[in-house]
Amino acid sequence: MRFQLTTLFAVASATVAVASPTWAALAAWAKGPGGQPAPLHTSTRPSISCQPHHPSQPPPSPPPRNRVCYVESHNDGVTDDSTYILNALHSCNNGGHVVFAEGLKYTIGTALDLTFLEHIDIDIQSYIQFTNDTTYWQANSFKFIFQNVTSFFKLGGNDVNIYGGGTIDGNGQVWYDLYAANIYTLRPVLIGIDGLHNSILSDLVLRYSPEYYHFVANATNVIFDNINIAGHSTSINVAKNTDGWDTYRSSGLVIQNSVINNGDDCVSFKPNSTDILVQNLWCNGSHGISVGSLGQYKGEYDIVQNVYVFNVSMHNTTDGGRIKVWPNTPSAVSGDLQGGGGSGMVKNITYDTMLIDNVDYAIEVDQCYGQSNLTLCLEFPSPLTITDVLFKNFNGKTSKKYQPEIGTFACSSATVCNNIVASGINVVSPNGTNLAYCLNVPQADLDVTCTTEYLGFN
């Protein structure tokens, strides 16, 4: 249905609200053919199903919304539209449908606490970009308690559905360059979730995040479907730590049917991530589907349990399926990433059906993460247990980096690793071998040829 502006105002009192409506602002909205105003419309909420595997609980099934709010925009790519956005979200909270109109550009220059959302659809048809004011964002972005995570905004609440096919842009290039000059720069994640429940994010394009694309904390029963992630640096400074998803203190998550081009973990299960399904992903340039890192903080007990990863295609990555645990001694990956000494458990993890294409290690189990001195790692083995882990139906070819090895199974002691199994591992290195470094893991459970020579430090 094509709405004319007069028609829009005629129905506004009954079903439609416009945040801070003014004739001048509406006239400046997106133009269609011939310079005429483009039609205002709402997107149909996608019907999401989880196939072929199903989560531990049914997907959210929200009711229809009863009113619509169109978000106003300055549409100049410079002026902060945060007030307009908050007005619309408050106006249509508890039963409404908020629309970021197609053809517009929205600019966000203010840190937004969106943890108040309840029973709302957010329909992003447009282009949203965060400002490049790194001084403001480092001082005002929301800080999480894990590592150095901060976010442009905090998304939380109950029964929140975000979709629409639009683009969210983190303006990452300025951050890639700044981090190269100062590794202690606090780079915001693109989508920071804190306390979101019974919600679905789908049909979104995410570009140029300064750091992680998603940090999902304190969330339950949330589905991510059909998310397109990409963002590379145009300078010599690499876009680092751009994980697709990092989960933390969350359960009942589904991540599926998505394409990820990034520079770090495609998906990473951080401490206390349980009951998670990942399926039907295409990952390029990443560091794999990773459990961890865990055991970073002394005195903390980390759990990752009941994770199923199915049908993932890995291209040009450092790892395929990966478990990374800090040893029981101070260690450092980099100046801004250090740790070791924490305990916990990894239990009931399955990696099922993975395509390996130019991947350095198809499988990596590493209890010496961050510690290049293997002798020191064995002297101070991790107290974090790894049990009931299955890698199966892996096919393809690794890169040349560690050939003749295609993977590593390295536990810091035999007492903390039990029932780690690899079956149907039809992966070879470029020279045709399928060797793997094995340490404190029974070879009988591994469908590879074990070697005691570790090439991972090379």
Is 119 one of the catalytic residues? Answer: no
Residue 300 dihedral angles phi and psi, to the nearest 5°: -95, 145
Contact criterion met (CB below 8 Å) for 212 and 149: yes
- Among 91, 92, 95, CA closest to 64: 95
Sole residue written with tokens 């003014």:
22
Q: Give Cα separations from 271 to 276, 303, 317, 338 (angstroms).
A: 13, 6, 23, 16
Contact criterion met (CB below 8 Å) for 266 and 244: yes
Catalytically annotated residue among 74, 214, 287, 315: 287
Secondary structure (3-state) at 99: strand
Residue 155 dihedral angles phi and psi, to the nearest 5°: -105, 120
Cis peptide before 52 (omega within 30 of 0): yes
Contact criterion met (CB below 8 Å) for 369 and 326: yes
Contact criterion met (CB below 8 Å) for 336 and 183: yes
For the record, the structure tokens of 141 come out as: 């972005």
- For strands 267-269 and 245-248, give the pairing: parallel
Secondary structure (3-state) at 23: helix
The four Cα atoms 146, 149, 153, 155 give a dihedral, to 10 degrees, of: -40
The number of beta carbons lying within 10 Å of the beta carbon of residue 24 is: 6
Catalytic (active-site) positions: 287
